[in-house]
Structure 1
């Protein structure tokens, strides 16, 4: 996970939170979060990177549409990231005021 860009990490979160999303569904979620248009030339090379790293699997719906799923390794990486984050900000979000 340490060698991913924040954009690639966000792609993992989006894929992990959906059931076999296709590229445009991932794009829509990221655009909502970033509040900016995500161009295909940015999205798909980054999707290919997380696939190449074994964090995501890519399947084919039809000749034009692919779907993506998080792998066991990808899930472990996200869990490790969450544990790392929690050691710094876990108490901030769990305390009630």
Structure 2
């Protein structure tokens, strides 16, 4: 990888575009349901997002330690950024603002 792409990916190595967008959605929330995240993503993309696209990406973010998963009512999952997720988004924003 070039230095340019290394800087761009700082904190977001191996994170897909849709996963990055999910991180940004969660950055504005303090624990939210998968359904609320799905709705916000659909509004942003202006297209239907199915569960088969959403939840595997949320699971990957949990596995990477960027998102934590809990429950709201014992059966509804709640997702929120971890400290590592917030740090990764901040680093990405700093890089982006240097180049825009």
- Structure 1 segments of 4+ aligned residues over 2 angstroms from their partners: none
Partner of 2:7: none
Structure 2 residues without counterparts, runs of 5 or longer: 1-11
2:44 is matched with 33
Gapped regions of structure 1 (runs ≥ 5): 90-97
1:63, CA displacement in angstroms?
Answer: 4.0
Per-residue CA distance 1:9-33 (angstroms, 9 max, x = gap): 0001111111211000000000000
* Normalised TM-score (structure 2): 0.85
Structure 2 counterparts to residues 63-78 of structure 1, below 5 A: 63-78=74-89
Q: Report the Cα distance in structure 2 between the residues aligned to 1:61 and 1:21, rounded to whole angstroms.
A: 8
TM-score scaled by structure 1? 0.88
Higher RCO structure, 1 or 2 (CA under 8 Å, sep 6+) = 2
Aligned-residue offset at 1:61: 1.8
Note the aligned Cα RMSD (angstroms): 0.9
Q: From the CA coordinates, give the structure whose radius of gyration is larger.
A: 1
